[in-house]
Amino acid sequence: MSNSVHYIHALTGFGRAIRLLALTFVLVLAGLGAVALAADEAHAGEAGHGAHAEHKHHGLSPDAPRIQVGPFSVTNSMIVTWIVAIGVIGFAQYATRSIKDVPDGAQNFWEWLVESLHNFLESIIGPDLVKKTFWFFATLFIFILFTNWAGLIPGVGTIGWGIPNAQGGLDHISRPLFRGVNADLNMTLAMAVIFFVCWVVWALQANGPGGFVMHIFGPKGKTEGFMKVMMIAVFIVVGFLEIVSIMFRPVSLSFRLYGNVFAGESMLESMAALVPSLGWLIPVPFYFMELLVGIVQALVFMLLTAVFTLLICQHEEGRH
């Protein structure tokens, strides 16, 4: 009886590992594809930037322009960050101001969002890990989603300062008042680096320092004799590759999100400028696509970080 239960557990664990590997593979492929697409579009944007320079159109600047607020210098993406953060926290406060047993209205929506995210993450990383990490992954998803969608609100990127043309009109806003938060590399890199620090802390908590090193360099599977020596050597080399892969995660995570959002905003701006008289119509389908990109990128960032966390913490759980 006990053996059969262990066998079922082993099967379930194996199936879950396979599913996770497949999910990771698909996500990495999707991410790589998105990065390549974003890079192409960014490149095209830059090429367009050069071409447009001649036509006095400058496109979206990779550097978030700064705005002087009293003695402080803030970027326009930071302003949107705070607006979205205040909006989300304010809504959450409003939704939870008087919690009822039978939820309705804002509480119902917020409960649905939090519960769905919790259940979704629990199904991927398990109930123990989700208790410890939910605050981070939920914040990542909610914050990225709402900042991505906030970047699509009319006025973001189109209200600001620019150099007037001969007729006194503005062809291009060089210093917009608001800017898509994730179109600023500083924000996406900040989130990726915070994840990296959290990942290290959770990995050390789950494995201990020795277990952490063994998780990266230790041989997997059961081998004996000469094969064991060979496997140790192979896995030490693999461990170094794994370290390189781990070190590049913040870069890939931040550039994937930044590239997608930046490319999306550049595309919307290019579509609006394509036929000036139809600038109000042509970007509309792309706005719907950007709504989708906004949710997909939030999901990809959260899922990848969750899967990375699971992969480093799973070993310890499996050992128990």
Partner 1 sequence: MTFIPVLAAESGIVDALVESTRRTGETFGFNAWLFFSQIISFCIVAFLLQKFAYKPILTILEERRKRIADGLANADKIKQQLAESEQRYQEILTKANAEAQKMIDEARASAAVVKDRETQRAISEAEQILTKAREAAALEHTKMLGDLKREVGRLVIGTTAKVTGKVLTADDQKRLSEEAAREVAA
Residues engaged in binding partner 1 (CB under 8 A): 61-64, 74-75, 78, 81-82, 85, 88-89, 92-93, 95-96, 99, 101, 110-111, 114-115, 118, 134-136, 138-139, 142-143, 184-187, 189-191, 193-194, 255, 258
What is the DSSP annotation of 71-127?
Answer: TEEEEHHHHHHHHHHHHHHHHHHHHTSS--SS--HHHHHHHHHHHHHHHHHHHHH-H
Using the minimum distance from each CB to partner 1, give the nearer residue, 158 or 186.
186
Strand pairing category for 175-176 and 66-69: unpaired
Which residues make beta-bridge pairs with 74? 67
CB of 168 to partner 1, least distance (A): 30
Which residues make beta-bridge pairs with 73? 68
CB of 88 to partner 1, least distance (A): 7
Using the minimum distance from each CB to partner 1, give the nearer residue, 134 or 217.
134
CB of 290 to partner 1, least distance (A): 20
Using the minimum distance from each CB to partner 1, give the nearer residue, 143 or 199.
143
Using the minimum distance from each CB to partner 1, give the nearer residue, 113 or 282.
113
Using the minimum distance from each CB to partner 1, give the nearer residue, 14 or 82.
82
d(CA 190, CA 267): 25
Using the minimum distance from each CB to partner 1, give the nearer residue, 156 or 231.
156
CB of 252 to partner 1, least distance (A): 14
CB of 54 to partner 1, least distance (A): 21
CB of 99 to partner 1, least distance (A): 5
CA 286 to chain centre: 21
CB of 31 to partner 1, least distance (A): 17
Q: Max Cα separation, the chain?
A: 86
CB of 159 to partner 1, least distance (A): 20
Using the minimum distance from each CB to partner 1, give the nearer residue, 184 or 290.
184
Using the minimum distance from each CB to partner 1, give the nearer residue, 189 or 295.
189
Q: Classify the C-alpha dihedral 167-168-169-172 as positive or negative.
A: positive
Q: Which residues of 56-85 are buried (b: 16+ CB within 10 A; e: fewer)?
A: eebbbeeebbebeeeeeeebbbbbbbebbe
